[in-house]
């Protein structure tokens, strides 16, 4: 058989590295590859058309998010119903744990790739070429007659420096008004213990190490390619922990990365980075280096702002780490965004009070809040099963929170803040993006207009947070009594009105940022950077 045609199917709101790394490995091995984005069920027809035109021998589906699994199952059935007779395999966190249930559901999936996919998929393609036996494909689980067979798994990371760089689109993506790319500097997580985390569960299950790093030289080479060839100026590291556990290691790595970027002639004064980090990794020396490198935003793993909550979620960090991280990042002009998992099996009203107080005391920071959800293989899954709290059905489990009042509050949250049309989730995401963008603009185009937009963004976030907080308190008040449908509709309606007004304001600021970034780029090309922000005439003309 000739080299294989492989079609990857995955959510692709931005370049999805979980398929773009294995895609690069397959291309290196001589196969041809296409990627079919499947972010919402409406993408189904486009995916089916792509299969018809490309005629792959292997379809590889990335099911990273458990909550999206039913949509992918449905898609698989439709692919088979459309007559595709090639091999369909699935991989990702969720199938790594739930491979039996997935195969037993007999929906047309022939095999599951567990853990990392690069080597396994290249070997699976070799099997389809007739070059090896299926039993020699690493990490693969599949039917043999009426039995499910599990091949041995690789329990260590691949050499990350030896992997080909992920496949990129011909043209760079644009995010927050800039040419943009996502990348990873590592795989896994050195903590790998949080109760609700699929990444932690995934790497804790392997026998080998839980965290592997790319060398700074290797990272800098990829950044340099994106910077010089695609003009990328905004980079988002998708590592769940961009930083390591020990301060000394972070200092060496960040200094090394800056030196490697200089060696690659990447002017990191003209770039901006976004990262995710745990609060306990942010020390003074680290924050200074993050600022020097051009990190403008940190999605900080706060998760819960109480001692009991941090313990219940097995976060391994302390309240003083959170306070220190906020203070240091603020001092260095780096915006923090965060999420609070105020609902979890052991949450109490006292704990929720403390979390609300935390939101109130951090008015300048965009945030979201919610419940720790059950994912396959996680400590939370084991807890809710063992304690008989589990509700709903596989794969989208629900569970009961032990304190009935907190459980009631969570249900009210679902029926109000989380109504699809409520607009709250959209507002939270919009403000997080706007805050990042204000900092990107300030860094790349410093000047009066950029400063003004940053001030307006901050003002909007403070006002919006006050209104959101006010509605959280209303939701809290409802937990103390019998709630009618009218109560829920009134609260949801009020949230909806407030959110839409703030989203509208955010969109207006975004349009101003659009105009400023566009004008600045033009004036830079003409050799007069900043002119548009100095001249009041030009500011009026460009409406910035």
> Counting contacts by CB under 6 A, is residue 193 touching ligand SF4?
yes
Q: Which is nearer to ligand SF4, 199 or 374 (CB)?
A: 199
Q: How far apart (Å, rounded) are the C-alpha atoms in residues 11 and 18? A: 10
Q: Which is nearer to ligand SF4, 172 or 200 (CB)?
A: 200
Contact 300, 243 (CB under 8 A): no
Q: How many CB atoms lie within 10 A of CB 489?
A: 13
234 DSSP β-pair partners: 180, 272
Q: Binding mask 268-307 vs ligand SF4 (x if CB under 6 A, - otherwise)?
A: ----------x----------------------x------
Alpha-carbon distances of 256 from 150, 259, 350, rounded to whole Å: 41, 5, 45
> Counting contacts by CB under 6 A, is residue 199 touching ligand SF4?
yes
Q: How far apart (Å, rounded) are the C-alpha atoms in residues 373 and 68? A: 13
Q: Looking up tokens 């449908």, which residue turns up?
A: 485
Kindly indicate which of the ranges 197-205, 353-361, 380-388, 515-523 contains the residues binding ligand SF4, using the contact rule CB under 6 A: 197-205
> Counting contacts by CB under 6 A, is residue 377 touching ligand SF4?
no
Count residues near ligand SF4 (CB under 6 A).
Answer: 12
Q: How far apart (Å, rounded) are the C-alpha atoms in residues 373 and 414? A: 13
Q: Which is nearer to ligand SF4, 71 or 286 (CB)?
A: 286
Shortest Cβ 241–ligand SF4 spacing (Å): 6
Shortest Cβ 377–ligand SF4 spacing (Å): 12
Among 194, 296, 376, 406, binds ligand SF4 (CB under 6 A): 194
DSSP 154-174: P-S---TTTSPPPP--SS-EE
Shortest Cβ 201–ligand SF4 spacing (Å): 8
Shortest Cβ 37–ligand SF4 spacing (Å): 25
Q: Which is nearer to ligand SF4, 138 or 241 (CB)?
A: 241
Q: Binding mask 145-184 vs ligand SF4 (x if CB under 6 A, - otherwise)?
A: ----------------------------------------
Q: How far apart (Å, rounded) are the C-alpha atoms in residues 329 and 326? A: 5
Restricting to residues 235-274, which ones interact with ligand SF4 according to CB under 6 A? 240-241
Give the three-class secondary structure for 112.
Answer: strand
Among 59, 167, 197, 432, binds ligand SF4 (CB under 6 A): 197
Kindly report the three-state secondary structure assignment for every residue of 359-376: HHHCCCCCEEEEECCCCC
User: 348: exposed, middle or buried (C-beta count within 10 Å: 0-12, 13-18, 19+)?
Assistant: middle
Among 191, 221, 233, 471, binds ligand SF4 (CB under 6 A): 191
> Counting contacts by CB under 6 A, is residue 200 touching ligand SF4?
yes
Closest CA to 533 of 451, 449, 455: 449
Kindly indicate which of the ranges 75-83, 174-182, 191-199, 456-464 contains the residues binding ligand SF4, using the contact rule CB under 6 A: 191-199
Q: Which is nearer to ligand SF4, 71 or 195 (CB)?
A: 195
Q: Which is nearer to ligand SF4, 56 or 301 (CB)?
A: 301
Kindly indicate which of the ranges 95-103, 163-171, 186-194, 221-229 contains the residues binding ligand SF4, using the contact rule CB under 6 A: 186-194
SS3 content of the chain, % helix, strand, coil (to 5): 50, 15, 30
Collect all residues with Cβ–Cβ distance below 8 Å to 49 and sequence separation of at least 6: none
Structure tokens at 138: 């690493």
Among 62, 89, 139, 192, binds ligand SF4 (CB under 6 A): 192
Kindly indicate which of the ranges 196-204, 247-255, 260-268, 484-492 contains the residues binding ligand SF4, using the contact rule CB under 6 A: 196-204
Q: Which is nearer to ligand SF4, 192 or 250 (CB)?
A: 192
Helix (H) or strand (E) holding 78: helix 69-81
End-to-end Cα spacing for the chain: 60
Q: Which is nearer to ligand SF4, 200 or 345 (CB)?
A: 200
Collect all residues with Cβ–Cβ distance below 8 Å to 43 and sequence separation of at least 6: 36, 37
Eight-class DSSP state of 23: H
Q: Looking up tokens 């924050």, which residue turns up?
A: 287
Which residues form the interface with ligand SF4 (CB under 6 A)? 189, 191-194, 197, 199-200, 240-241, 278, 301
């Amino acid at each position: 058989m000739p080299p294989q045609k492989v079609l990857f199917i995955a959510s692709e709101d931005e370049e999805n590295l979980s398929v773009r790394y294995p895609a690069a490995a397959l291309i290196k091995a001589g196969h041809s590859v296409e990627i079919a984005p499947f972010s919402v069920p409406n993408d189904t027809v486009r995916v089916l058309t792509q299969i018809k035109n490309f005629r792959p021998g292997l379809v590889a589906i990335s099911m990273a998010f458990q909550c999206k699994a039913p949509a992918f199952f449905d898609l698989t059935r439709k692919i088979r119903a459309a007559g595709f007779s090639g091999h369909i395999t699935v991989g990702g966190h969720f199938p790594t744990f739930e491979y039996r249930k997935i195969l037993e559901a007999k929906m047309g999936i022939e095999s599951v790739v567990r853990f990392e996919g690069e080597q396994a998929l290249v070997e699976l393609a070799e099997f389809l070429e007739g070059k090896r036996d299926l039993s020699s494909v690493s990490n693969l689980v599949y039917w043999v007659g009426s039995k499910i067979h599990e091949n041995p798994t690789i329990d260590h990371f691949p050499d990350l420096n030896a992997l080909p760089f992920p496949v990129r689109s011909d043209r760079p993506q644009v995010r927050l008004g800039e040419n943009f790319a996502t990348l990873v500097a590592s795989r896994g997580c050195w903590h790998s213990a949080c109760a609700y985390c699929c990444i932690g569960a995934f790497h804790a299950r392997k026998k080998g190490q839980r965290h592997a790093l790319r060398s700074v030289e290797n990272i800098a080479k990829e950044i340099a390619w994106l910077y010089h060839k695609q003009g990328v100026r905004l980079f988002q590291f998708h590592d769940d922990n961009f930083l390591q556990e020990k301060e000394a290691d972070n200092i060496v790595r960040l200094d090394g990365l800056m030196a490697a970027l200089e060696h690659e002639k990447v002017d990191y004064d003209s770039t901006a980075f976004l990262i995710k980090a745990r609060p306990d990794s942010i020390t003074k020396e680290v924050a200074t280096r993050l600022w020097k490198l051009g990190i403008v935003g940190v999605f900080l793993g706060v998760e819960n702002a109480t001692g009991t909550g941090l313990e219940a979620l097995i976060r391994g960090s302390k309240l003083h780490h959170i306070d220190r991280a906020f203070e240091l990042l603020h001092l260095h002009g780096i915006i923090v965004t965060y999420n609070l998992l105020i609902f979890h099996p052991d949450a109490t009203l006292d704990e929720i009070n403390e979390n609300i107080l935390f939101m109130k005391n951090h008015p300048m920071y965009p945030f979201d809040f919610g419940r720790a959800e059950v994912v396959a293989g996680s400590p939370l899954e084991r807890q809710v099963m063992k304690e008989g709290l589990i509700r709903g059905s596989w794969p989208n489990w629900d569970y009961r929170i032990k304190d009935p009042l907190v459980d009631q509050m969570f249900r009210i949250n679902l029926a109000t803040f989380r109504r699809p049309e409520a607009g709250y989730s959209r507002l939270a995401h919009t403000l997080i993006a706007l805050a990042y963008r204000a900092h990107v603009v300030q860094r790349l185009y410093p000047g009066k207009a950029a400063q003004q937009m940053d001030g307006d963004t901050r003002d909007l976030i403070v006002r919006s947070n006050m209104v959101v907080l006010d509605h959280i308190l209303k939701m809290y008040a409802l937990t103390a009594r019998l709630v009618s449908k009218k109560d829920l509709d009134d609260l949801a309606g009020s949230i909806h009105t407030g959110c839409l007004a703030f989203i509208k304001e955010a969109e207006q600021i975004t349009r101003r940022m659009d105009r400023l970034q566009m004008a600045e780029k033009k004036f830079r090309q003409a050799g007069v950077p900043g002119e548009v922000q100095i001249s009041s005439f030009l500011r009026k003309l460009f409406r910035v």
